[in-house]
Amino acid sequence: MCRFLAYIGPELPIESLLLAPENSLLNQSLDPELHPSLQLAGWGFAAWSDHLLHPEAPLRYHRPKAAFHDDNAKSVIPSLQAHTLLSHIRAASYDASVVQADENCHPFSFDHTPWIIAQNGALPHWRQLQRELLPHCKDQYLTQMRGTTDTEFLYVLLLSLLEGDSDEDVQRGFEKLLQVICKAARNLDLAALTKLKIALVSRERMIGVNFGCGHEGETDVTGDWQKLRDEDLPLSMLLEPIYLLTGANFQDYANTYDIDPCPEGEATSAILASEPLTENAEEWLKIEFGEIVFLERKDGLIRKTVRKLDV
């Protein structure tokens, strides 16, 4: 499975998010804690910092090779810091259909939008589904698509469906996204389990979405993801939560993802991840299947909202 990590909070060294912790994103690509698979198909990150020459735009870095083999990471990353970050390591099957190239590494970023995207998931049959989905796509985004991944196409489709950038607009956009995908799959008789665990990030904002549909294209999927591990692994992974950690003074805990817990409304930092990154998983809020979480940093504090998606 792919993995992602997003952060908003005070400016801090990117090294403390991607390299230093024992369970860092780069270390997970070689020695994962929870899901015993390697991510060898590339990795990348995008970061906003007030210390960049263009602080309103994300600095992007990606390489189409295993993160733990990236000889540039340990020389570039220690020189950078950020207040907003989205990072991703890519898993892909190894066959002739998989293209390992810079343009296929997450996160994806287009002009004319504040949003960047990464995901841990897949849209089966997405090339055939384009017959039904392309009419929903706007040329201003389609013409920016450079790679061959389902995630970049989902990015085009989502941006085309957005009517604005408010939390309400983004939620409606994601709800429309799954609705048009399910309708296209039904029309083409291509219904299949579709796991969409998506991180959508802009400056000082991040949104996590955990949804999709089951083997028959149904969206009202239920079950205990842990009990399903041995009997239906794809369904288990569909229903698995994504994880959120909020608190204060993250910068005081060198080489870990530890943070000081604090009451609702007093958090200064937030980390959204595809799996819990500390030994105590109970510290992490679970964003369950069918939920969307909105986080925004204003006046140094994190505003958080969790809602059910209407699909």
pLDDT score, position 279: 81
pLDDT band at 58 (very low <50, low <70, confident <90, very high): very high
State the DSSP H helix or E strand holding residue 3, giving kind and residue range, or none if neither.
strand 3-13
Average pLDDT, the chain: 90
Q: What's residue 92's pLDDT?
A: 53
The C-alpha atoms of residue 126 and residue 305 are separated, in whole angstroms, by: 31
pLDDT of residue 96: 42
**pTM, two decimal places:** 0.92
Read off the pLDDT of residues 239-281 as tens digits, 9 standing for 90 and up: 999 999 999 999 898 788 999 999 989 999 999 999 898 888 8
Could you give the angle at the alpha carbon of 151 between the alpha carbons of 82 and 207, nearest 5°?
Answer: 45
With a CB cutoff of 8 Å and minimum separation 6, the contacts of 176 are: 161
239's CB contacts (< 8 A; 6+ apart) are: 221, 222, 223, 224, 225, 228, 289
- Domain, as residue range, for 34: 3-308
Give the model's confidence band at 35: pLDDT under 50 very low, under 70 low, under 90 confident, else very high.
Answer: very low
For residue 107, cis peptide bond before it (omega within 30 degrees of 0)? yes
Structure confidence at residue 40 as a pLDDT band (50, 70, 90):
low
Residues 6 or more apart whose Cβ sits within 8 Å of residue 54: none
Return the higher-pLDDT residue of 44 and 101.
44
- Confidence check: pLDDT of 95 > 80: no
90 near 108, Cβ under 8 Å? no
Which residue bears the tokens 């796991």? 195
The per-residue pLDDT for range 105-152, each reduced to its tens digit, is 889 999 999 999 999 999 999 999 999 999 999 999 999 999 989 999
The pairing of strands 108-109 and 59-63 is unpaired
Phi-psi region of 177 (alpha: psi -120 to 50; beta: other; left: phi over 0): alpha
Query: How many angstroms separate the CA atoms of 43 and 2, rounded?
Result: 10
Q: Give Cβ neighbours of residue 109 (< 8 Å, ≥ 6 apart).
A: 46, 58, 60, 116
pLDDT score recorded for residue 136: 98
- From the list 268, 273, 267, 277, the residue with the least C-alpha distance to 293 is 273
Please count the structural domains in the chain: 1
CATH code, 238 = 3.60.20.10
Q: What is the C-alpha to C-alpha distance for residues 234 and 26, in angstroms, rounded to an integer?
A: 24
Nearest to 166 by CA among 142, 202, 140, 125: 202
Q: How many Å separate Cα 138 from the centre of its chain?
A: 23
Q: What are the helix (H) ranges across the chain?
A: 15-18, 25-28, 73-76, 126-133, 139-142, 150-161, 167-187, 233-239
pLDDT greater than 80 at residue 26: no
Can you tell me the distance from the alpha carbon of 260 to that of 271, in angstroms, rounded to the nearest whole number?
Answer: 13
The backbone region for 226, taken as left when phi is positive above 0, alpha when psi lies in -120 to 50, beta otherwise, is alpha
Confidence bin at 30 (pLDDT 50/70/90): low
Looking at residue 283, what DSSP letter applies?
Answer: G
Query: Over the stretch 180-231, which tens digit does the pLDDT of each residue have?
Result: 999 999 999 999 999 999 999 999 999 999 999 999 999 999 999 999 999 9
End-to-end CA distance of the chain: 25
